[in-house]
């Protein structure tokens, strides 16, 4: 190996050593999505400082569906808090008077952001990274609160095939996230990492096998789980089979 290559490897190792201690998140959230209903006074996310002895500041805020930072109709408190090493904190989402302007017949989507702020380094030439977590935040009005916590409405999604093009129709008042479609052998039919279909709307995408007549749809439920539903096609229309 040449001296130049040795120097390059040394620099890379030095940079990696600086990043390795800071590239993982210090503040971890206990969920991947949060739901606040019209009946709730507030909804909370638990924050944990996963480092044993380094205090972090946790800065929290809410964004609307377009990614704009907002303080109404939902606001998060406290917007800034210190969490010592190994300790926990709470970020609480509450409603403001502006909540009355949201649709009453379907969900509305927002985003909850938490950015960790590390303490100032006590050594020179140390690169610090402020990691940020962003999760979906749903407001669910009274009219669409499920009667059961185990309710499944994702089975109402209907797929219409047109060759290799598929339209997924969501007739429900809920946002539905589809992680992918697979044939009955487990082979992927879609190449997206996940798509979200807004309430009472549809979404077009492509599948790799236009002749498929039975497949599975993996979706994300209220708790961040990834269950599957089996679909069967009659002609070009594909509907979910009754669950066992």
Residue-level pLDDT at 14: 37
Q: Are 201 and 157 in contact (CB under 8 A)?
A: no
Strands 108-117 and 132-140: antiparallel
Altogether, the residues listed in the chain come to a count of 244
Nearest-10 Cα torsion for 195, 199, 152, 44: 80
Asked whether 138 and 108 are in contact (CB, 8 A), the reply is: yes
**Residue 190, CB half-sphere, CA atoms under 13 Å: how many?**
20
DSSP class of 97? G
pLDDT at res. 1: 45
| 39/59 Cα distance (integer angstroms) | 27
Contact yes or no for 5/113 (Cβ under 8 A): no
- Domains contained in the chain, CATH given: 25-144 (2.60.40.10), 154-240 (2.60.40.10)
Predicted pLDDT of residue 24 = 53
Nearest to 197 by CA among 228, 175, 165, 227: 175
**Distance (Å) of CA 45 to CA 35, 65, 127, 195, 225:** 10, 19, 29, 24, 17
Whole-model pTM: value is 0.86
Following CA atoms 22, 26, 32, 33 in sequence, which dihedral angle do they give, to the nearest 10 degrees? -120
Residue of 79, 25, 76 whose CA lies nearest to 49? 25
pLDDT at 123: 75
Tell me the pLDDT of the chain (244 aa) as tens digits.
444 443 444 434 333 334 444 445 599 999 999 999 999 999 999 999 999 999 999 999 999 999 999 999 999 999 999 999 999 999 999 999 999 999 999 999 999 999 999 988 777 766 677 799 999 999 999 999 999 989 999 999 999 999 999 999 999 999 999 999 999 999 999 999 999 999 999 999 999 999 999 999 999 999 999 999 999 999 999 999 998 7
State which H helix or E strand residue 210 sits in: none
The rounded distance, in Å, linking the Cα atoms of 185 and 206 is 19
Evaluated on CA atoms 182, 210, 173, 93, the torsion sign reads positive
DSSP state of 243: P
């Amino acid at each position: 190996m040449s001296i130049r290559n040795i120097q390059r490897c040394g620099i890379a190792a030095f940079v990696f050593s600086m990043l390795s201690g800071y590239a993982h998140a210090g503040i971890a959230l206990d969920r991947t999505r949060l739901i606040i209903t019209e009946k709730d006074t507030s909804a909370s996310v638990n924050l944990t400082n996963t480092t044993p002895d380094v205090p972090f500041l946790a800065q929290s805020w809410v964004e609307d569906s377009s990614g704009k930072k907002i303080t109404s109709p939902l606001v998060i408190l406290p917007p800034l808090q210190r969490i010592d090493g190994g300790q926990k904190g709470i970020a609480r989402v509450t409603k403001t008077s502006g909540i009355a302007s949201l649709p009453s017949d379907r969900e509305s989507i927002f985003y909850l952001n938490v950015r960790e702020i590390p303490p100032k380094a006590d050594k020179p030439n140390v690169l610090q990274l402020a990691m940020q977590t962003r999760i979906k935040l749903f407001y669910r009005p009274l009219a669409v609160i499920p009667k059961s916590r185990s309710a499944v409405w994702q089975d109402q999604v209907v797929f219409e095939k047109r060759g290799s093009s598929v339209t997924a129709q969501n007739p429900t008042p809920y946002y539905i996230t589809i992680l992918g479609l697979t044939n009955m052998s487990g082979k992927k039919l879609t190449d997206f990492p996940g798509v979200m279909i807004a309430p009472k709307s549809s979404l077009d995408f492509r599948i790799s096998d236009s002749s498929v007549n039975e497949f599975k749809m993996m979706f994300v439920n209220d708790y961040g789980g990834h269950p599957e539903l089996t679909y069967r096609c009659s002609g070009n229309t594909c509907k979910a089979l009754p669950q066992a």
